[in-house]
Amino acid sequence: MKVLGIESSCDETAAAVVEDGRNIITSVVASQVEIHARYGGVVPEVASRQHMLSIIPVIDRALGDTGIDCKDMDGIAVTYGPGLAGALLVGMNVAKTISAARNIPFVGVNHLEAHIYANWLDSDQQTMLGEENLFPCLCLIISGGHSDLVFMKGHGQFERVGKTRDDAAGEAFDKAARILGLGYPGGPVIEQAATQGKPSFQLPRAQLRDSYDFSFSGVKTALWHLAHRENIVQDDSRIADIAASFQSAIVDSVVKKTVRAAEDMGVQHILVSGGVSANKALRNALNQASPVAVHIPPIRLCTDNAAMIASCGYFHLVAGEKSSLDLDIIPSLSFMDKAAIS
């Protein structure tokens, strides 16, 4: 079953075709990072306009790469939230138009849930093939807008058990990079700077005992004070040490909380996803600290892409779900909290 995935929730315009939820036939991502970099972050209005310019060429390129025609698709999956309203509308309207014109079933997918499905893509991992042993598992989704711990009982069955109380992990990286004058997006530049430094500064790690929630605003504020106290201007080695200290504080908090949640819940697998999971220090630390199997997608599939949207859409479509053409975008969409479900 071939599904066309479309993604336009933030600053990447993307289209992909995925077969049976696992095999990527084609995946095209047009990044707007360079356009937004000059403003130090994503400008919503600029993002929507750029999606309008890119969406058709991106879909054409994805299909042209393989010679597949739209009419050969068995389904269309599109992000309906969370994300920037104007940006989401572009992908949603294109998906509805193709669905109506070609009479192809379409399904709206939650972008956060889709990040988890990056773990199914091009996977030769035994656990993904033998799913009977995978569930229930714990999912860690760490991106620019979210930091969630989600208990996954099966396909489409999610309960959020932890979330950030303030900044998302990726947002903290982005703000820290701005404070240190390193540019945008912050995660990759902090990671790069950290390779030249040592985590010699002690920055706070919020514990939030008796909770699986995260908090990253304290470490960001501490970094701001440290950067001003240390007068970092023109001192690359000190910037590198501060970047390494910051990265290490975020990695420590994420790893400790995730491992504790996995142990408490008795799961055998942790699925990691979202842009911040591209961070090598985090990938290594989680693998080392976790007593259970840790699965992290290849780096190119950690950040926003449409293959994960197509994969997630496939699992909804095979479960018999599809969306009607009056589906609307939900910019503030999230996972249901456990308390709200039970």
CA pair distance 294, 140, nearest whole angstrom: 10
Least distance to ligand KG4, CB of residue 178, Å: 11
H-helix or E-strand spanning residue 114: helix 111-117
> Using CB distances below 5 to 8 A depending on partner kind, what does residue 279 bind out of Zn ion, ligand KG4, none?
ligand KG4
Give the residue with the Cβ less far from Zn ion, 79 or 248.
79
The nearer residue to ligand KG4, 111 or 322, going by C-beta atoms, is 111
Phi, psi dihedral angles at 6 (to 5 degrees): -130, 130
Q: How far is the CB of 111 from Zn ion (least distance, A)?
A: 6
Stated as kind and residue range, the H or E segment containing 240 is: helix 236-265
Binding residues (CB under 6 A) for ligand KG4: these are: 10, 143-145, 170-171, 173-174, 185-188, 191, 274-276, 278-279, 303-304
Is 304 a binding residue for Zn ion by CB under 5 A? The answer is: yes
Which tokens hold the place of 129?
């093939």
Q: How far is the CB of 146 from ligand KG4 (least distance, A)?
A: 7
Of the CA atoms within 13 Å of residue 154, those in its CB half-sphere come to 3
Residue 118 or 262 having the CB closest to Zn ion: 118
Least distance from C-beta 16 to Zn ion, angstroms? 14
Ordered DSSP codes for 267-285: -SEEEEESGGGG-HHHHHH
Residue 279 tokens read as 């961070």
Nearest CA among 299, 266, 304, 269 for reference residue 286: 269
Binds Zn ion (CB under 5 A): choice among 123, 143, 258, 311:
143
Report, in Å, the least distance between residue 209 CB and ligand KG4.
26
Nearer to ligand KG4, 63 or 239 (CB): 239
**If we measure between CA atoms, which residue out of 194, 250, 187, 241 comes closest to residue 218?**
250
Residues 16, 21: Cα–Cα separation, whole Å: 11
| 247 is a site residue for Zn ion (CB under 5 A) | no
Considering the complex, state which of residue 84 and residue 243 has its C-beta at the smaller distance from Zn ion. Answer: 84
Closest contact distance (angstroms) between CB of 210 and ligand KG4 is 28
What is the smallest separation between the CB atom of 267 and ligand KG4, expressed in angstroms?
23
Its sign, for the CA torsion 77, 83, 85, 90, is: negative
Of the pair 99, 305, the CB lying nearest ligand KG4 is at 305
The least CB distance from residue 323 to ligand KG4, in Å, is 21
Cis upstream peptide for 136 (omega within 30°): yes
149-181: burial string, b at 16+ Cβ within 10 Å, e else = bbbbeebeebbbbbbbeebbbbbbbbbbbebbe
Burial 91-125 (b: 16+ CB within 10 A, else e): bbebbbebbeeeebbbbbbbbbbbbbbbbbbbbee
Our finding on whether 11 is near Zn ion (CB under 5 A) is: no
- Residue 160 contacts residue 336 (beta carbons within 8 Å): yes
Residue with Cβ nearer ligand KG4 (123 or 303): 303
Residue 168: alpha-carbon gap to chain centroid: 11
Binding site for Zn ion (CB under 5 A): 143, 304
